[in-house]
Amino acid sequence: MLKIENLEVTLDADAGLVRAIDGLSLAIRRGETFALVGESGCGKSMTALALMRLLPENGRIAEGRIDVEGVDVLALPESSMRAVRGGRIGMIFQEPATSLNPVMRVGEQIVEAIESHTELRGEAARARAIEWLKRVGIPEPERRIDEYPFRLSGGQKQRVMIAMTLACEPDFLIADEPTTALDVTIQAQILELLKQLQREQGMGLLLITHDLAVVSGMAQQVALMYAGQIVEVASAAEFFGAPRHPYAKALLRALPDTRKRGGALAAIGGTVPALWQEFSGCRFAPRCERVMDICHATVPQMERVGEGSVRCLLYRDGVASPPPAAIHVEPQHEAAPRAEAPPKPLLEVRDLSVRFPIRKGLMQRVAGAFTAVGGVSFDIPAGRTLALVGESGCGKTTTGKAIVQLLRRQAVIEGQALFEGQDLFALEGEALRSARRAVQIVFQDPFGSLDPRMRVLDILEEGLIALRPELDAAARRARLHALVDQVGLRRDALERYPHEFSGGQRQRIAIARALAVEPRLIVCDEPTSALDVSVQAQILNLLRELQRDTGVSYLFITHNIGVVEYIADHIAVMQRGLIEEQGTVEQVLGAPRTEYTKTLLAAVPRIAIPAAV
């Protein structure tokens, strides 16, 4: 159905010509799910944009062919390409907040897509839109269809994007991180919906994701990408049962779970290399634990191995060579045992309620109120982590924003948030400014939380200037260099703008900004949802080290149960603005008491890691 041959995409940048995609070839059959996985910045999303001919202004396709059932997409005029986009090829974009028009109601946007690519018009198109909103799990679709995007949570915006794309019933679907912002129950529902459409319509699916558990349950074929090239192609059974490339094995080892609690995750050191340079050897060699001298001087080619292929000099003769004599593996250090006596609470939340006014009419008078959080209570001890989990729209993010005082002018907040005995809701002026240094937040949407007109240097330095005035310019610059090193970015990132980074890289910038002022409590709102597993391992290791060294506490809002199993001490399960169940990780995950928690855990995709990895 889809065939890509020797695709090369270049970008004009200040540093030179960036080879974002270098000689990519793959083929996807009708009804097949083909997963494209790899680290943030390796070229996955750029591949999707090239397929849709939606490259940025500084990008161009230098070479290659994209064949969709006998039609060369690259040879079509733009007028014909508009019919292909949405009708023949649909795309779910990585960041729904930037893909939805903020001044149009979500229903208008879905109806517009339906009327552009189907024969439905007017009320029939609106009925189709409501039907698809219901199918993707939007509560009260008849009411939500007339909402603006800013009134929806991150997960709900993602579902709107999915509904808009699938409502046009395309022949082929490119799904770029389609479940990143979704909780596990809605994720399971969306993935089952995609499988159903494939069975009914024979729809081909290119699934771009960093969630390897989703890949193991969805894909028939897997391609692993690194630094603009595909380094391994295999069936899903082969890829997860016996991965061949050292990079593939390292990714699987980096996955968090309960068995790794107390120790460091096997993060991959270093970062993806800059793609404006000329490579004289293997691009993964500086980070590979099986590197040989020849790897630095010889460019590896794709070698056929079994039913798949791999780009690695270990397989020059089609068979893996024995490992070199000396392999350096980072030692796994066990964390110090927890003290028996429970530490004193750093944050005590008591009967927190958040109500948003509902305005109607020409004068937008208040006609009622919507209760987003209906009276929740929990404690976060000093140096501990509380994970807040639940479905999208249940009030998790609203709870976090209320605690860090970001909803004062938007909502009616009742209850208490006692930080070291001081009620955060009662602070004003200088006392509130002082508290902001102690309590920071990592937002769910990194693109929306970063000023597009500021360089990364200015974004990170802004907080230091405002909240750490005792630091001079030299101390601030040293702090910034340490921060980008900690979160796995190159130092040249400081001179670039947010739009020049991938979604995962922008999330690392947001995490660095929160860490800059050395807070006592960090509200982490889906901090690793946009990160691939290798960078996720780096960030989780970093958060654990900071907690061990500084005693910082975390309110960890997430839908990734694997991350919860690894990093959390306690869990609070939230539904419809209320906490349904809370306790230690062992209590809640090992013996859940409520049906809602049991349903949540049953929907979690699992992946079995082979012992040989």
Q: Give the pLDDT confidence of 229-270 residue by residue, as tens digits.
A: 999 999 999 999 999 999 999 999 888 877 788 788 888 877
Where is 554: in which H helix or E strand?
strand 553-557
* Tokens 């603009």 -> residue: 228
Q: What is the DSSP letter of 422?
A: E
Is pLDDT above 90 for 449? no
Tell me how far apart the alpha carbons of residues 375 and 415 are, in angstroms, rounded to a whole number. 8
Q: 322 pLDDT exceeds 70?
A: no
More confident residue, 264 or 477: 477
Cβ atoms of residues 503 and 177 within 8 Å: yes
Q: Are 438 and 431 in contact (CB under 8 A)?
A: no
Identity of the residue numbered 373: V
Rounded distance, CA 376 to CA 465, Å?
35
Closest listed residue to residue 578, CA positions, set 347, 408, 372: 372
Of 489, 548, 556, 483, whose CA–CA distance to 514 is shortest? 483
Instruction: Tell whether the model's pLDDT for residue 444 goes beyond 70.
Output: yes
> Hey, what domains does the chain have and what are their CATH numbers?
2-102+156-241 (3.40.50.300), 246-315 (no CATH), 383-410+425-602 (3.40.50.300)
- The whole-number average pLDDT for the span 189-218 is 87
**Amino acid found at 89:** I
Q: How far is CA 567 from the centre of its chain?
A: 17
Q: What average pLDDT score do residues 277-289 get?
A: 92
| Residues 523, 558: Cα–Cα separation, whole Å | 11
Q: For the segment 160-174, what is each residue's pLDDT rounded down to a tens digit?
A: 988 998 888 888 899
Strand ranges in 155-220 using DSSP code E only, listed in sequence order: 172-176, 204-208
pLDDT score for 609: 66
CB under 8 A, 24+ apart: contacts of 303-308: 305/244, 306/234, 306/238, 307/234, 307/235, 307/238, 308/232, 308/233, 308/234, 308/235, 308/238, 308/239, 308/244
Distance CA 289, CA 246 (A): 8
89 dihedral zone (left: phi>0; alpha: psi -120 to 50; beta) = beta
Determine whether 66 is exposed, middle or buried from the number of CB atoms within 10 Å of its CB (0-12, 13-18, 19+): buried
Average pLDDT over every residue of 352-361: 88
Residue 326 has pLDDT above 70, yes or no: no
Query: Which helix (H) or strand (E) is 82 found in, with range?
Result: helix 78-83
Averaged over 39-58, what is the pLDDT? 89
Task: Report the pLDDT value the prediction gives residue 238, as an integer from 0 to 100.
Answer: 93
Q: Is the dihedral of CA 155, 157, 159, 162 positive or negative?
A: negative
* Token reading at 339: 């003290």
Sheet arrangement for strand 308-311? 89-92, 172-176, 204-208, 33-38, 221-226, 229-235, 308-311, 302-305
Q: Quick one: what percent of the chain has pLDDT higher than 90?
A: 46
Query: Can you tell me the mean pLDDT for 81-95?
Result: 84
Residues in the chain: 613
Kindly indicate the confidence band of residue 334, based on its pLDDT and cuts at 50, 70 and 90.
Answer: very low
Q: Is the CB of residue 385 less than 8 Å from the CB of residue 569? A: yes
Whether residue 530 has pLDDT greater than 80: no
DSSP code, position 59: E
Residues 284/227, Cβ–Cβ less than 8 Å = yes
Mean of the pLDDT values across residues 224-233?
95
The candidate with the shortest Cα–Cα distance to 246, out of 292, 291, 295, 280, is 291
In this prediction, residue 342 carries a pLDDT of 61
Query: Using 50, 70 and 90 to split pLDDT, how confident is the model at 99?
Result: confident
Task: State mean pLDDT over 419-447.
Answer: 88
Q: Measured between alpha carbons, how far is 185 from 596 in angstroms, rounded to an integer?
A: 10
Asked if 456 and 509 touch (Cβ cutoff 8 Å), the reply is: yes
Token duo for residue 417: 């948030």
Strand-pair category, 71-72 with 59-68: antiparallel
Q: In the predicted model, what is the mean pLDDT of the chain?
A: 87
Task: Classify 333 as helix, strand or coil.
Answer: coil
Provide the pLDDT for residue 414.
94
**Predicted pLDDT at 60:** 93
| pLDDT tens-digit series, residues 564-587 | 988 999 999 999 899 999 999 999
| DSSP secondary structure letters along 310-327 | EE-GGGTTSSPPPPPS--
Read off the tokens for 190: 């969306």
- Mean pLDDT (whole number) for 98-122: 91
* Predicted local distance difference test score (pLDDT) of residue 235: 94
| φ/ψ of residue 114, rounded to 5 | -65, -45
The set of residues, in sequence order, having a beta carbon less than 8 Å from that of 113 and lying 6+ positions away, is: 86, 164, 165, 167, 168
What residue has token string 């609106």? 126
Beta-bridge partners for 36 = 208, 223
In the chain, what percentage of residues exceed pLDDT 70? 94
Amino acid code (one letter) for 351: D
* Amino acid at position 318, single letter: G
Q: Where are the beta strands (DSSP E) in 227-364?
A: 229-235, 302-305, 308-311, 345-360
Contact 464, 471 (CB under 8 A): yes
In whole angstroms, give the CA distance from residue 354 to residue 372.
Answer: 6
Residue 133, phi then psi, degrees to nearest 5: -60, -40
pLDDT digits over 479-516, tens only? 999 988 888 788 889 999 998 887 678 888 988 999 89
What confidence category does residue 348 fall into, taking pLDDT thresholds of 50, 70 and 90?
very high
Q: Is the pLDDT of residue 519 over 70?
A: yes
**Residue that has been written with the tokens 């500021």 in this structure:** 454
Task: Give burial (CB, 10 Å; 0-12/13-18/19+) of 362.
Answer: exposed
The first and second tokens of residue 536, run together, are 């996720």
| Contact between residue 377 and residue 386 where contact means Cβ atoms under 8 Å apart | no
Distance set, CA 401 to CA 41, 328, 379, 552 (Å): 29, 43, 16, 18
pLDDT at residue 94 greater than cutoff 80: no
Q: Which CA distances in Å does 530 have to 161, 225, 447, 545?
A: 17, 17, 11, 21
The predicted model scores a pTM of 0.77
